[in-house]
Amino acid sequence: MQEVQNEKHADAGLRQRKRAATHARIQAEAMRLFLANGFEPTTLDEVAAAAGVSRRTLLNYFGSKEEIVFSTKADFPRWVADAVAARPADEPMLDMVENALFDLADRHRSQEARAVAALIAATPSLRAGDQAKYEAVERLLALTLAARKGLPDDDVACRVVAGATVSIIKQSMDAWLANPDLPPETFGRKAFAALRRVAG
């Protein structure tokens, strides 16, 4: 049995420690196989075998095959929201999201994140699920903007800015995938500039 030393939460008991370790092991082995052989061709039986658990247990940890992939991006909505919440409250709304995105951009430059993004882009069912996840990003971003600006939760300006921003995020990712050399903020800068120009 592989004992994994946890740094902080280790004292929560053997059960939770093993559980966290198994969760991480399944995710790691799954992503390794998905990236090596593709998402659809890889079966849950193969992943379960590689992780040393039964298929039934795997599906106990992750509700579906897709959720294994999406769990690697699970806290992305919170990252966006936190980046916005960290901006000064008197900043104009568009500046707020634009600057927040570039404060955040560093986290998405890793090769690993790029490989996962490429996997999602290349797999139709994952691409669909990913689009759906951005819905949550958009909603949380709108709420965060409203809170930061002291506006009602359903403020239309916040919602439309959130929508435009998420679209820019998605297109920036696509541009980054299509052209790895260009830094991901290239498209974003141009997009926000164009948005101001076109609406002004």
| Contacting residues toward DNA, per CB under 7 A | 1, 3, 13-16, 18-19, 22, 42-45, 52-57, 59-61, 63-66
For residue 122, give the 3-state DSSP assignment: helix
Residue 138 interacts with a copy of itself (CB under 8 A): yes or no: yes
Q: Distance between alpha carbon 59 and the CA centroid of its chain, in Å?
A: 21
Distance between CA atoms of 71 and 68, rounded to whole angstroms?
5
Nearest distance in Å: CB 157, a copy of itself: 4
Q: How many CB atoms lie within 10 A of CB 8?
A: 6
Residue 177 interacts with a copy of itself (CB under 8 A): yes or no: no
Nearer to a copy of itself, 31 or 162 (CB): 162
Distance between CA atoms of 48 and 9, rounded to whole angstroms?
26
Number of residues that bind a copy of itself (CB under 8 A): 35
Angle (CA) 37 42 46, round 5°: 115
In residues, how long is the chain? 200
Residue 89 interacts with a copy of itself (CB under 8 A): yes or no: no
Nearer to DNA, 4 or 178 (CB): 4
Report residue 189 as tokens.
Answer: 């800068």
For residue 146, give the 3-state DSSP assignment: helix
Q: Which of 163, 177, 183, 185 binds a copy of itself (CB under 8 A)?
A: 163
Binding partner of 110, given DNA, a copy of itself, none, CB within 5-8 angstroms per partner class? none
Residues binding a copy of itself (CB under 8 A): 92-94, 124, 127-129, 131-132, 134-135, 138, 156-157, 159-164, 166-168, 170-171, 187, 190-191, 194-200
